[in-house]
A and B are shown apart, each in its own frame.
Chain A
Amino acid sequence: MARMAPGVGPKSLLHPGFIGAGSTLLIAGLATDIMYWDTSNWQWANSSAWLIVGGLVLALVAANVLIIDFLTGRAGRINWISFFLVAAATLLSLLNVFVHSRDAWTSVVPQGISISAIVTILLLVAAFNGWKVTTIRTPANGDRL
């Protein structure tokens, strides 16, 4: 049975957890948008606005953690498809937070809920790659780890 010596195995990536947490909030934002569309109850729209703000804060954290992943030798090559999906979802959510800052109905319908739906699709596709936007760096022989 092959056993890796302690300390020489690949280190796990830190950023996917933060992308996953942020994605959860942004996807929940679609659910609350749908609830507002259905009920016209303002607290659903209010919830969406806070969820998107929360998602963007976690996106900022994830971006910093991604840099740490590179600096600490955890990340290998960037996966451009995953990176594009997550980056596009983030930029659209930034747009969406302004749409959601409108007052009442037009803060959600039709643009807000549409952007939330696109963001949700992008993030769910990215989920198939475990919300990783890089490969895990595999230590080569002789690497000082």
Chain B
Amino acid sequence: MTHAMFRALPALCALVALAGCGDQGGDPMRQYGADPYLPEPQNYLLPPMSVPKAVGWKPGETPTVTGGLKVQAMATGLMHPRIVYPLPNGDILVVEGNSPGTTPFRPKDFIQGKVKARAGTAGRGGNRITLLRDADGDGKPEDQTVLVDHLHSPYGVAYVDGTLYVANTDAIMAFKYALGQTKITEPGTKLADLPAGPIDHHWTKAMAASPDGSKLYVGVGSNSNITENGFDAEEGRAAIYQVDRQTGAKRIFASGTRNPTNLAVDPETGRLFVVVNERDEIGPDLVPDYLTMVQEGAFYGWPYSYWGQHVDVRVHPQRPDLVAKAVKPDYGLSSHVAALGLAFSKGETLSDKFSNGIFVGEHGSWDRSPVNGYQVIFVPLVNGRPEGKPVPVVTGFLGNDNDTVRGRPVGVALDRTGALLVADDTGNAIWRVSADQSGH
């Protein structure tokens, strides 16, 4: 069915000649940094799309890494791994989950779901957290166990002071947890509810603990691309929450963030950073996803505007008062890359080149031709702010012709040896990138 539809796509394009299927995106490098190139928004009958077919990794195949690094599979055969999270004792948690499943409302929803599924987004989530134990730090775990099972579309995870917090799509759960434990049997308790169904369009709930451990920050994505499911569905969404770890009381810390897919705290300054996925279907080069330091109380524009005061005419009624308040993010990541992973790299990590910056996992585009993302990049920090050109670190997720995709990077993290861990939800693997000691 999907295949037949893809063969029918060129015919559809011909049929609706003004559809803009041939609208090609430009050089993504123009859209990295503080001042991304922003073309005029377009209106399409059929937005530009290019969705590579998920084929997985053949035995022995790995992503490609830049010079001086090596890559190895740390775990394979997982169930849609999204987040990788090293614990203080060196054990590594892998959160395996996917969307709880949304009810299609519009004729378009039926078709769009099938299109995206081609690139592996429909893989069944494990709804569990797997623990990898690699005591000798060689990247080959001696032990792999299911730590917690029967979760509800989990994504964010944070360990603070004898408690493991798991952000299910509808609530933060707290599990009593002693480091070293390989299985949690005691049921968790609910710390706080989170906005979820109905619809639950952007279902992931990213999470990070504040430096003193007293608060949890949670990213809640919008319930639509651009309010097409109505304003009621957006109540309390597209925002970053601050949740008190003791009481579960929550408040909105920043808003207007369409889909805040990952959060991380700068270990030096204690500042909260976020990667946000921006809106679709107004052009291959609109709107750039972004990385930014989160300013408390700030409004980042969604749905009314993007990148400051660029009004989105698809939203009605409009709100010029809110547009005027919209804050520009710090650093554009180019359009439709679907930035999902975020990890600080400070000091002795992979190499000197990566001693002060941020790794970003780019899951890869669907609403763009040619495709964009499908890689892990490094963004340098200057005075605690992202600045300068990004460096591709892990690539080779796409087949040669960009028509197939072997894996897609999601969450990234650095383990205690400084190696970079990458969760791959289409290849169902965890990749470990480390310095190549062999001298090549």
Contacts and interface: CB of A to CB of B under 8 A. Distances in A.
Interface of A: 40-43, 45-46, 49-50, 53, 94-95, 97-99, 101-107, 109, 111
Nearest to B318: A105
A43 B43 contact: no
B167 to A, nearest CB: 27
B228 A98 contact: no
Contacts of A105: 313-316
Given A43-B230, A49-B107, A98-B16, A104 B316 contact: yes
B317 A95 contact: no
Contact of A104 (B16, B19, B227): B227
Contacts of A102: 43-44, 281, 314
Contact of A103 (B16, B46, B281): B281
Nearest to A99: B45
A114 to B, nearest CB: 13
A107 to B, nearest CB: 7
Contacts of B313: 105-106
A46 B106 contact: yes
Contacts of B228: 42, 45, 103-104, 107
Interface residues of B, number: 25
Given A49-B107, A103-B224, A105-B316, 12 more contacts: A40-B316, A94-B15, A95-B16, A101-B45, A101-B107, A101-B108, A102-B44, A102-B281, A103-B225, A103-B226, A104-B226, A104-B227
A32 to B, nearest CB: 13
A50 B107 contact: yes
7 contacts: A42-B230, A45-B228, A50-B106, A95-B45, A102-B43, A105-B314, A105-B315
A111 B314 CA distance: 13
A45 B418 CA distance: 52
Contacts, number: 59
Most buried by B among A40, A99, A101, A109: A101
Contacts of A103: 224-228, 281, 314
A133 B102 CA distance: 43
Interface string B101-113: 0000111100000
A83 to B, nearest CB: 20
B107 A97 contact: yes
Nearest to B105: A46
B229 interface: yes
A39 to B, nearest CB: 10
A40 B314 contact: no
Interface in B21-59: 43-46
Interface centre among A49, A50, A97, A103 (most CB of B within 10 A): A103
Nearest to A53: B107
A123 to B, nearest CB: 21
B3 to A, nearest CB: 21
Contacts of B45: 95, 98-99, 101
Nearest to B228: A103
A41 B15 CA distance: 31
Nearest to A94: B15
